[in-house]
Amino acid sequence: MDHDSLMFIFLNALLINNLVLALFLGLCPFVGVSSKINTAWPMGLAVIVVMLVASVCAYGINILLVHFEIEYLRLISYIAVIASAVQLVEMTIKKFSPTLFRLLGIYLPLITTNCAILGMALFQTFDEYSFTQSLAYSLGAGGGFMLALVLMAGLRERLELANVPDVATSAAIAFMLAGLLSLAFMGFAGLGG
Amino acid sequence: MPAPKHDAPVSLDTLKAGVWKENPVFIMLLGLCPALAVSNTAVNSLAMGLASTFVLLGASFLISLFRNVIPKQVRIASYIIIIATFVTVVDYTIHALSLELYNALGAFIQLIVVNCMILGRCEAYASKHRVSTTMVNAVGMGAGFTLALFLVGSIREILGFGTFFGIPLFGPDFQVWAVFILPPGGFIVLSLWLVLFAAIQRKRDRMAAGKEGAYGS
């Protein structure tokens, strides 16, 4: 497959270099929100939306920064954009589904400090993706986050019925599961050819 | 805010709290992303730990200094900007000092900005305490974070490369356990450390509660 093609970039972000399971980004919400499928998938959707907005904005900002040769402001401006995008999503969810808003709780505003989103914006800049490539990348990255989150939630719901040793607190066993899931995702490494 | 006359004992406790009792990674589960992403060798994890500690110290100092000036409504945004400034400093410093390290850590230096450990400490501690207390606490927290990264990184390097700080530990016949330097190994090693910490904590609690329950864990 052509490494610049949109399909490759999308699949790469979705499966091969999955943000959570291969690059360790966005672990806090991954562990925090993945105990129920009911909260996992809306959280995933929220992240996808923020990713798309952040990706488009980051692309535009980067052009400006390069034009004025002030790349050292990249980090600060990206963070500001992501924070505003999160605010937008937060207000939308609060308006349309107060129940969901309460379920997601503290993790919704914390999407701002979700390293998956800043990581995605930085990676797309470093890899010098074009506009459409950036879109494909952010869609894949967000989708990958959601995929990992929902799979993990499914596993953890099953785990509630299992007999886990006392010392393995919920986080410890969750990381063990994540390790196995990550091992499974390594199987996609050959997909790029 | 602690009373000034109790400064010395409070400081010692605040220092120790970050290393063990409130260890940011193993107990509070903060700052996990860098703890796993760059901890495939002992050197990388030490560098990452020190860089994060520097940012934590700088940001805590400024935030504690200006804690009465920053308006409540925009505090998170102000904290992020302060943290981002220090991260940019660290980023350029590492770039200038060691290109090799810079390439190994990659985007994860810049991602210190979104390390929830740092923002968490700024919000929960620096914004409410005097500069001196804050700094002592930040040193403890930074040390605890570095220690945690170092513990995860050492195990992964020893098992995954068969080396420690680049020095071969085993004979040439050692079959490296490659999975430990790959992503799954990070999750698994962290999980095992969490179990260990929980087990030790439990044993201590039992000892404190009464002698009858204090058999091995």
Q: What digits encode the pLDDT tens for the residues A68-107?
A: 888 888 888 888 888 888 888 888 888 888 888 887 777 7
Cα gap A23→A17, rounded to integer Å: 7
- Nearest Cα to Cα of residue A10 among A157, A169, A124, A176: A124
Closest C-alpha among A37, A34, A36 to residue A175: A34
* Token output for A162: 């299992």
CA distance B199 to B201: 5
SS3 B190: helix
Q: What is the ipTM of this complex?
A: 0.80
Q: Which residues pair with B163 in a beta bridge?
A: B168
**Do the Cβ atoms of B58 and A45 come closer than 8 Å?**
no
* Residue among B77, B198, B199 minimizing CB distance to A83: B77
For the residues B199-208, what does the mean pLDDT come to? 84
> Are A28 and B92 inside 8 Å of each other by CB?
no
Residue of B nearest to A115 (CA): B114
B91 contacts in chain A (CB < 8 Å): 75
Q: Where are the domains of chain B?
A: 4-213
Q: Which residues does chain B have within 8 Å of residue A23's beta carbon, measured at their own beta carbons? A: 37, 183
Instruction: Kindly list the distances between the CA atom of residue B202 and the CA atoms of A166, B4, B189, B192, in Å, as whole numbers in the listed order.
Output: 10, 34, 20, 15
**Sign of CA pseudo-dihedral A62, B31, A23, A117:** negative
**B88/A176 CB distance under 8 A:** no
Of A28, A72, A176, the CB nearest to B191: A176
The pLDDT tens digits of the residues spanning B96-113 come to: 988 888 888 877 888 888
- Looking only at the bridges linking them, the beta strands covering B167-168 and B163-164 are antiparallel
Can you point out the beta strands (E) in B78-208?
A: 163-164, 167-168
Q: What's the pLDDT score for residue B131?
A: 87
pLDDT band per the 50, 70, 90 thresholds, residue B207: confident
Residue-level pLDDT at A139: 92
- Return the axis-axis angle of helices A115-126 and A37-68, rounded to nearest 10°: 40
Q: In this complex, do A182 and B37 lie within 8 Å of one another by their Cβ atoms?
A: no
